[in-house]
Amino acid sequence: MRNPVALFLCLGALLAPANARAQQAEVPDAMPNNIPYGPTVTADRAAEIVEAVMAAGRMGARDWKLAIAVVDPHGDLVYFYKMDDTQYGSTTIAVNKARSAARMRRPTQVFSELMQTTAGSFAPTLGPDVVASPGGVPLIENGRLIGGIGCSGASGAQDHVACTAGANVLR
Amino acid sequence: MRNPVALFLCLGALLAPANARAQQAEVPDAMPNNIPYGPTVTADRAAEIVEAVMAAGRMGARDWKLAIAVVDPHGDLVYFYKMDDTQYGSTTIAVNKARSAARMRRPTQVFSELMQTTAGSFAPTLGPDVVASPGGVPLIENGRLIGGIGCSGASGAQDHVACTAGANVLR
Amino acid sequence: MRNPVALFLCLGALLAPANARAQQAEVPDAMPNNIPYGPTVTADRAAEIVEAVMAAGRMGARDWKLAIAVVDPHGDLVYFYKMDDTQYGSTTIAVNKARSAARMRRPTQVFSELMQTTAGSFAPTLGPDVVASPGGVPLIENGRLIGGIGCSGASGAQDHVACTAGANVLR
Amino acid sequence: MRNPVALFLCLGALLAPANARAQQAEVPDAMPNNIPYGPTVTADRAAEIVEAVMAAGRMGARDWKLAIAVVDPHGDLVYFYKMDDTQYGSTTIAVNKARSAARMRRPTQVFSELMQTTAGSFAPTLGPDVVASPGGVPLIENGRLIGGIGCSGASGAQDHVACTAGANVLR
């Protein structure tokens, strides 16, 4: 058993009741992870998406300072915009969230909830492609994943709201 | 079993209490993270700050061996001092704590407490800008963040006391 | 042969021309490196700068595919735009060039020329802050360095032309 | 021949005339590399050394902006001081030079000269412990290497002068 992840999986299988797989749909997974990859989001589309994120971050009394990253399906950067006075640490965090959303084909909120709902028994040790903090969302168009968007700078819940507004441009 | 994450998700669904989502937004944030960035702490100021840390580490019966790092608001090193016989690993840890405090605009103790108060459901996966161990504190002057200070070598609580003494030079 | 470097040194002594040392200090430094740092380029300004780069890349018969990065004086990303169909490797190269230009306060072309004019005797070994390829240029406004811009995707000379067009927006 | 360095050494041996080793003393190696390691430079000593570097950088009409790093014999940071307005890239470069000087037991100028005197045939690919730029000098006391000092921010020649002034505190 040279692979520690394999051990984790075995443990999970032992603890899971027989109907574990049947309950899979109840998992707070807002988006299936088997969506096929499509062409890369274009730069122009990415710019529109980021515009929508910024509008969401400034709506009403909101004054969220956000770093916003759009990546292609592989996690390579396509577009990045950091609002003035956003905390510097959000530069890399936004990129990490976008990459996780694209490469894992799920909102990063899924991993964050997983940690909370399992009372700490899930801690992602799978590397930089699994960020367990809300604010990364896949970009879906015509039933295909064409990239990911990541936001950082506000609270996790706010980051999620903001980048979801961006992803909704495509729907 | 082609998708290892799916099994994780199954497990999570089984263990989840009903109010898991409701708890998500409450985070013990001891310091607002929207403090504006200001000019970089000068080298002379940094030297004073480190003096205060060393005094705190030697106060009374204390004999804390500390590595002490002062960084600018971006996390770039400005000043560093390692007391003789401090453990070598503290060299990089002190720098990492200082960088996290500056780039995330919070004491790193916040991230450490978050892990404890959420029964392990928070684990930092956001990259090297989020160190979840006490001992990193933002440097604030005139309502602006001008850098960060990080200490390592004693216990986490002691590291926090020491670098807070340094940060208080500016207040 | 317990010391491999000693042999290198032997070889060096045999091949050395008499005036080798005299040549050491003459470096083609196209821009002084003591320009003071100023405030960070704003996101809106960065967007204008990138617009100018794109216009330069599409001028006349040009059809340069570019990744374009704007960073602050410390090298932290402010704005990034990758034209469709740009080679993926240019994503990181553009960021690295921008960071080098900002952190070393020189166009990266200086380091590239240095390698050529010294018959290969300069090879950057100073780490990721010294990229020896044209296409990174400091952003100067009112006599202060407020960031850096990096381009990658075309030839090195073209990358330099493109990002210089961007930097000239500020002058 | 799985080790590329080994190939380089073979090549060197083939090109070297029979008396290559005898000529070793003519190599511009100001300091033998077989000096034994001693105890780590103390923090107080490091502070004195850095004081001397700063005095050298401000002597007469000089106004060198320097980042100054002192490391122990292993290259771990002991003391660091960055003068205000030094280029940010020098932060890491100073540390790299100090580490190279300590871990290779030579001034980094040796590697820089080696590149020039061999008409480019030497390019260090040995990793981050071999910086080929002047400005790193071993710290010697009582015939033992107790650390390294690295300077960056001025020209390479000036960086060397400055950190040599620091190293001379010990003699």
Position with higher pLDDT, D20 vs D138: D138
User: Are D82 and B43 a contacting pair at CB < 8 A?
Assistant: yes
How many contacts does B have with C, using Cβ atoms within 8 A?
Answer: 5
User: Are C126 and D133 a contacting pair at CB < 8 A?
Assistant: yes
A128 touches chain B (CB under 8 A): yes
| pLDDT at position B16 | 34
Nearest chain D Cα distance for residue B118, angstroms: 35
State mean pLDDT over C126-139: 89
Chain C residues near residue D17 by CB distance under 8 angstroms: 14
State mean pLDDT over C86-112: 93
User: Are A27 and B10 a contacting pair at CB < 8 A?
Assistant: yes
| pLDDT at position B2 | 39
Confidence band (pLDDT; 50, 70, 90) for C20? Answer: very low
Chain C residues near residue D98 by CB distance under 8 angstroms: none
Confidence band (pLDDT; 50, 70, 90) for A127? Answer: confident
Name which of A43, A82, A95 is nearest C43 (Cβ-Cβ): A82
Element (H, E) at B38: none
The pLDDT tens digits for B15-73 are 333 333 333 333 334 455 678 999 999 999 999 999 999 999 999 999 999 999 999 99
Cβ proximity of D164 and D114 under 8 Å: no
C83 touches chain A (CB under 8 A): yes
State mean pLDDT over A94-122: 85
Residues 59-78 of A with CB under 8 A from B: 65
Q: Specify the pairing of strand D144-152 against strand D136-141.
A: antiparallel
**Neighbouring C-beta atoms of residue C144, cutoff 10 Å:** 14
> What is the rounded distance in angstroms from the CA atom of residue C38 to the CA atom of residue B145?
17
State mean pLDDT over C25-29: 35
State mean pLDDT over B102-106: 93
The pLDDT tens digits for D70-87 are 999 999 999 999 999 999
Confidence band (pLDDT; 50, 70, 90) for A23? Answer: very low
Q: Which chains touch C (3 or more CB pairs under 8 A)?
A: A, B, D
Q: What is the pTM of this model?
A: 0.79
| pLDDT at position A111 | 87
B82 touches chain D (CB under 8 A): yes
Nearest to A126 by CA among A108, A140, A141: A108
State mean pLDDT over B82-103: 94
How many contacts does A have with B, using Cβ atoms within 8 A?
Answer: 138
| pLDDT at position A113 | 84
D85 touches chain B (CB under 8 A): no
Nearest chain A Cα distance for residue B141, angstroms: 17
Nearest chain C Cα distance for residue A91, angstroms: 6
The pLDDT tens digits for C34-63 are 789 999 999 999 999 999 999 999 999 999
Q: Which residue has the tokens 């106060």?
A: B59
Interface test with B, best of C40, C42, C71, C74 (most B CBs within 10 A): C74
Position with higher pLDDT, C141 vs A119: C141
Q: A with D: 3 or more CB pairs under 8 Å?
A: no
**Neighbouring C-beta atoms of residue C55, cutoff 10 Å:** 13
Nearest chain B Cα distance for residue A138, angstroms: 16
State mean pLDDT over B102-114: 90
The pLDDT tens digits for D20-41 are 333 332 333 445 567 899 999 9
Residue B77 pLDDT more than 80?
yes
- CB-count burial class (<10 Å; 0-12, 13-18, 19+) for C61: exposed
Beta bridge partners of B152: B67
ipTM surpasses cut 0.85: no
Nearest chain D Cα distance for residue C13, angstroms: 5
Q: Which chains touch D (3 or more CB pairs under 8 A)?
A: B, C
| pLDDT at position B132 | 86
| pLDDT at position B98 | 97
Chain D residues near residue C25 by CB distance under 8 angstroms: 155-157
Beta bridge partners of A148: A71, A138
Residue B123 pLDDT more than 90?
no
DSSP character for B18?
Answer: T
Beta bridge partners of C79: A81, C70
Name which of C6, C37, C122 is nearest D85 (Cβ-Cβ): C37
Q: Which residue has the tokens 């042999």?
A: C7
| pLDDT at position D32 | 56
Position with higher pLDDT, A31 vs D1: A31
> What is the rounded distance in angstroms from the CA atom of residue A80 to the CA atom of residue A130?
20
| pLDDT at position B14 | 33
Residue D139 pLDDT more than 70?
yes
Describe chain D by its helix, strand, coil percentages, rounded to 5: 40, 15, 45
Q: A78-82, C117-121, C124-128, D46-50 — which is least confidently predicted?
A: C117-121
Residues 91-110 of B with CB under 8 A from C: none
State mean pLDDT over B5-12: 37
Question: What's the mean per-residue pLDDT of chain B?
Answer: 82
Interface test with C, best of B71, B72, B76 (most C CBs within 10 A): B76
3-state secondary structure D57-107: HCCCCCCCCCEEEEECCCCCEEEEEECCCCCCCHHHHHHHHHHHHHHHCCC
Please give the share of chain C, as a percent, with pLDDT higher than 90: 64
Chain B residues near residue D86 by CB distance under 8 angstroms: none
| pLDDT at position D125 | 67
| pLDDT at position C2 | 39
B74: nearest CA partner in chain A: A88
Position with higher pLDDT, B150 vs A128: B150
User: Are B43 and D80 a contacting pair at CB < 8 A?
Assistant: no
Name which of C12, C36, C120 is nearest D114 (Cβ-Cβ): C12
Nearest chain B Cα distance for residue A167, angstroms: 21
| pLDDT at position B129 | 83
Confidence band (pLDDT; 50, 70, 90) for C29? Answer: very low
User: Are A113 and B12 a contacting pair at CB < 8 A?
Assistant: yes
Question: What's the mean per-residue pLDDT of chain A?
Answer: 81
Element (H, E) at B139: strand B136-141
> What is the rounded distance in angstroms from the CA atom of residue B64 to the CA atom of residue B100?
22
Beta bridge partners of A144: A141
3-state secondary structure chain A: CCCHHHHHHHHHHHHCCCCCCHHHHHCCCCCCCCCCECCCCCHHHHHHHHHHHHHHHCCCCCCCCCEEEEECCCCCEEEEEECCCCCCCHHHHHHHHHHHHHHHCCCCHHHHHHHHHCCCCCCCCCCCCCCCCCCEEEEEECCEEEEEEEEECCCHHHHHHHHHHHHHHHC
Interface test with A, best of C50, C66, C77 (most A CBs within 10 A): C77
